[in-house]
């Protein structure tokens, strides 16, 4: 199993083997990333790399082949606020924590918005405070980590 990581300044992905020995650098070939844009987060899914880009909001998500060729832009800039981290569930849906918007967005594997969960939809004592991480537990609930050492469990 290889380890993949984002290299912000070079808009590339670096690959290490299981012993963390450097293997290669994959330069991401895209015309949609401007000079100021950085790579923030990467997930591998079905032989593709899903890469979150941005420097300041709005961010966007693109899909690349394992060789770095752009497959398609999955989620356009207007759909995502300030988001560093995301995950892909068992169905291929993309779950994104929007740090500034205080919301969680769930997209289909085609980039369509399926759900938006914002703080104003939650009880006052469970509102998001700059959510910055998401995970899924064994019961398929979304775990949302946010500031002030808080987290939420969301079930769908």
pLDDT at res. 16: 92
Tens of pLDDT, residue by residue over 71-85, are: 888 776 666 666 767
Model confidence at 35: pLDDT above 50: no
- Burial annotation 6-39 (CB, 10 A radius, 16+ → b, else e): bbeeebbbbeeeeeeeeeeebebebeebeeebbb
Beta carbons within 10 angstroms of residue 55's beta carbon? 13
Please state, in angstroms and as integers, the Cα–Cα distance from residue 6 to each residue in 85, 95, 117, 126, following that order.
Answer: 12, 19, 28, 32
User: Looking at residues 103-122, what average pLDDT do you find?
Assistant: 87
Say if CB 92 and CB 101 are below 8 A apart: no
CB–CB of 43/26 below 8 Å? no
Tens of pLDDT along 7-28?
A: 766 678 889 999 999 999 988 8
In this structure, how many other beta carbons lie within 10 angstroms of the beta carbon of residue 155? 8
**Residues composing the chain:** 156
């Amino acid at each position: 199993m290889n380890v993949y990581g984002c290299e912000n300044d070079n808009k590339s992905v670096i690959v290490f083997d299981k012993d963390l020995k450097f293997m290669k650098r994959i330069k991401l070939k895209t015309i949609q990333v401007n000079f100021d844009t950085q790579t923030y987060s990467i997930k591998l899914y079905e032989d593709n790399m899903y890469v979150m880009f941005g420097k300041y909001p709005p961010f966007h998500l693109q899909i690349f082949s394992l060789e770095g060729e752009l497959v398609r832009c999955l989620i356009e800039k207007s759909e995502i606020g300030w988001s560093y981290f995301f995950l892909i569930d068992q169905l291929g849906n993309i779950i994104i924590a929007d740090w500034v918007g205080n919301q969680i967005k769930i997209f289909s594997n085609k980039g369509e918005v399926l759900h938006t969960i914002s703080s104003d939809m939650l009880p006052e004592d469970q509102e998001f405070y700059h959510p910055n991480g998401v995970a899924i537990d064994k019961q398929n609930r979304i775990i949302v980590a946010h500031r002030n050492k808080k987290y939420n469990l969301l079930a769908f």
